[in-house]
A and B are shown apart, each in its own frame.
Chain A
């Protein structure tokens, strides 16, 4: 167990709908990353938050948004869902020291868009 929690584990929804994925980082970690992993694909970086502020953006669609709350949990909002959005969504939190930055991944949320 990495100490990072994600809910829900599975989500099945229809095209055009909106969903919210939730992530709680490890205690003490200020940074949260979101990744999308489609079947047999790599980890596509979506967005990073650090202590409530957006720090970096990757290939995140405009239909997707995220935020990090004062208690450091983060939510990823996916709207106007398309079939191609079906994927495993991971969040990770990290220690972020000057020369050590291990990322601890949550178990993921498997999203199926029908």
Chain B
């Protein structure tokens, strides 16, 4: 069945460095790719998303890139700060159907 693979499962970076999290999806009909951030004990919240007709999107220190041919999309966080420490989930959605989450990446930003 359709799935979304997410790597790495844990990532530690020094404060100020960049962090990259990668996801691969299997359903070529997927057209919406959100990223959620979940802080400890809290709800997941959308931080950035990208539609299939766009290759890259940036919002301040966060950017997402999409390669439809390879069915890859990635989250890039620059100038990481301690408050970026959280679990990040990618997801792939096909319109109003099939919302599939990745397995999550625990990011630790070391001060």
Q: How large is the interface on A (under 10, 10 to 19, 20 to 34, 35 or more residues)?
A: 20 to 34
29 A-B residue pairs with CB within 8 Å:
A2-B45, A31-B96, A33-B99, A42-B89, A43-B89, A43-B101, A43-B104, A45-B99, A50-B96, A56-B98, A90-B44, A94-B99, A96-B95, A99-B31, A99-B32, A99-B51, A100-B49, A101-B93, A101-B95, A101-B99, A102-B46, A103-B36, A103-B44, A103-B46, A103-B91, A105-B44, A105-B45, A107-B42, A107-B43
Q: Give min CB distance, B85 to chain A, whole Å.
A: 15
CB pair A90–B104 under 8 Å, yes or no, is no
The interface residues of chain B, by DSSP majority, are classed as strand
Chain B residues closer than 8 Å to A31, beta-carbon distance: 96
CB pair A98–B89 under 8 Å, yes or no, is no
Chain B residues closer than 8 Å to A2, beta-carbon distance: 43, 45
Chain B residues closer than 8 Å to A48, beta-carbon distance: 99
Within residues 75 to 97 of chain A, which ones have a CB less than 8 A from any CB in chain B? 90, 94, 96-97
CB pair A42–B99 under 8 Å, yes or no, is no
Chain B residues with a Cβ under 8 A of chain A: 31-32, 34, 36, 42-46, 49, 51-53, 89, 91, 93, 95-104
Flag whether A25 is at the interface (Cβ < 8 A): no
Distance between Cα atoms of A97 and B97 in the complex (Å): 10
Distance between Cα atoms of A43 and B105 in the complex (Å): 12
